[in-house]
Amino acid sequence: MRRVSNVGLILFIAAILVAPATAVSQEIKDHPLISRYPGSQIAYLPKSSVKEFDEIALPVAPYQNGKIAKTERLEGKVSRLIYDNPKGRSTLEIFRNYQQALAKGGFQTLFTCSDTECGDASKGPLNESVPDFGYWCVASSIQCPEPMRYIAAKLSRSAGDVYAAVKVRSEQTYLVVVDVKPMQGGMVTVGAKEMAEDIGKSGHASIYGIYFDTNKSVIKPESKQAIEEIAKLLIAQPSLRLHVVGHTDNVGTLPSNMTLSKQRAEAVVGALVNEHRIVASRLIANGVGPLAPVASNAAEEGRAKNRRVELVAQ
């Protein structure tokens, strides 16, 4: 039996370990709107990914008192790309190229910072891990020997808004792009008949097919079918009167969620009255924000269940 030298065995094992990483990294492509800096390579890390529908809290303010002062909560197709920077290129050069590319592409800057502008080092740790962006460096240190640079920007377009954030530090560049869009609807449908049965049994029915942009109360076109089914219910039962109640998750402040939930309920009532000629006196709009959850808000699965409109018999 032929013996394998120690050197040969080590090289063989190394090849096995490296091959899957290379294969996986090659499967992840650049975002079509924002290319990588020339010479950069996608890092094989679990966070380099593209998900058709996910959520993200995009930093739009400095790191203060142990947390990012303000974030933009977004949902849609999320591309998380981590690049190894090419050798011999400064964080400033890489950052300026991304900054210019975003401006040329029509993006509006929401927030940008460099080094200590990104946070107050005297009131928190010099390096803190921020979801999707790794170390958030507010002073030079082991993790960030060069100043960290960051920009968050938004592209408004009829096909759907796009948000982009770029964080450049010594060895890597983090790029997050969110193509804002609603979750694919029509997967589970509830018709007028099912609504009537729920109201008859429990006095209320939960509606999940009505969509709004984050922190907005304008009903999205994808909600048409659900609104039509509510109208069918009211037309089929002329004596039925309903409370239309908006619900939110617990992300954000209580006052803002209370206001938002009522505004969304009012938007539903407005659609039923204006588009389907339902008598306005049959409907009362109100909102309870996050005060009546049906699931835990600790994870997105539960928060999605809590964001709903309920029809409650008067």
| Domain ranges (residues) in the chain | 30-180, 192-313
Q: Which residue would you say has higher pLDDT here, 143 or 183?
A: 143
- Report whether pLDDT(158) > 60: yes
Q: What percent of the chain has pLDDT over 90?
A: 52
The model's pTM: 0.55
- Report whether pLDDT(9) > 70: no
Q: How far apart are the C-alpha atoms of 59 and 70, rounded to whole Å?
A: 6
Residue range 65-71: average pLDDT?
Answer: 84
- Phi/psi of residue 11, each to 5°? -65, -35
Using CB atoms within 10 Å of the CB of residue 215, give its burial: 0 to 12 exposed, 13 to 18 middle, 19+ buried: middle
| 176-234 pLDDT, tens digit each | 999 987 555 444 457 899 899 999 999 999 998 898 888 889 998 888 889 999 999 99
Q: Which of 174, 8, 11, 31 is nearest to 91 (CA)?
A: 174
- Report whether pLDDT(57) > 80: yes
The crossing angle, in degrees rounded to 10, of helices 224-236 and 254-276 is: 60
- In degrees, to the nearest 5, what angle opens at C-alpha 162 toward C-alphas 159 and 214? 90
- Dig out the tokens for 96 from the structure: 């300026």
Average predicted confidence (pLDDT) for the chain: 84
Q: Which residue would you say has higher pLDDT here, 121 or 152?
A: 152
Architecture of the domain defined by 192-313:
2-Layer Sandwich (3.30)
Long-range contacts of residues 131-137, Cβ cutoff 8 Å, at least 24 apart: 131/56, 131/57, 132/47, 132/56, 132/80, 132/174, 132/176, 133/59, 133/165, 133/167, 133/174, 133/176, 134/82, 134/167, 134/169, 134/172, 134/174, 135/169, 136/59, 136/63, 136/68, 136/167, 137/169
- Report whether pLDDT(268) > 90: yes
- Report whether pLDDT(1) > 50: no
The pLDDT of residue 22:
38
Using CB atoms within 10 Å of the CB of residue 304, give its burial: 0 to 12 exposed, 13 to 18 middle, 19+ buried: middle
- Report whether pLDDT(123) > 60: no
- Dig out the tokens for 86 from the structure: 């090419």
- Report whether pLDDT(91) > 50: yes
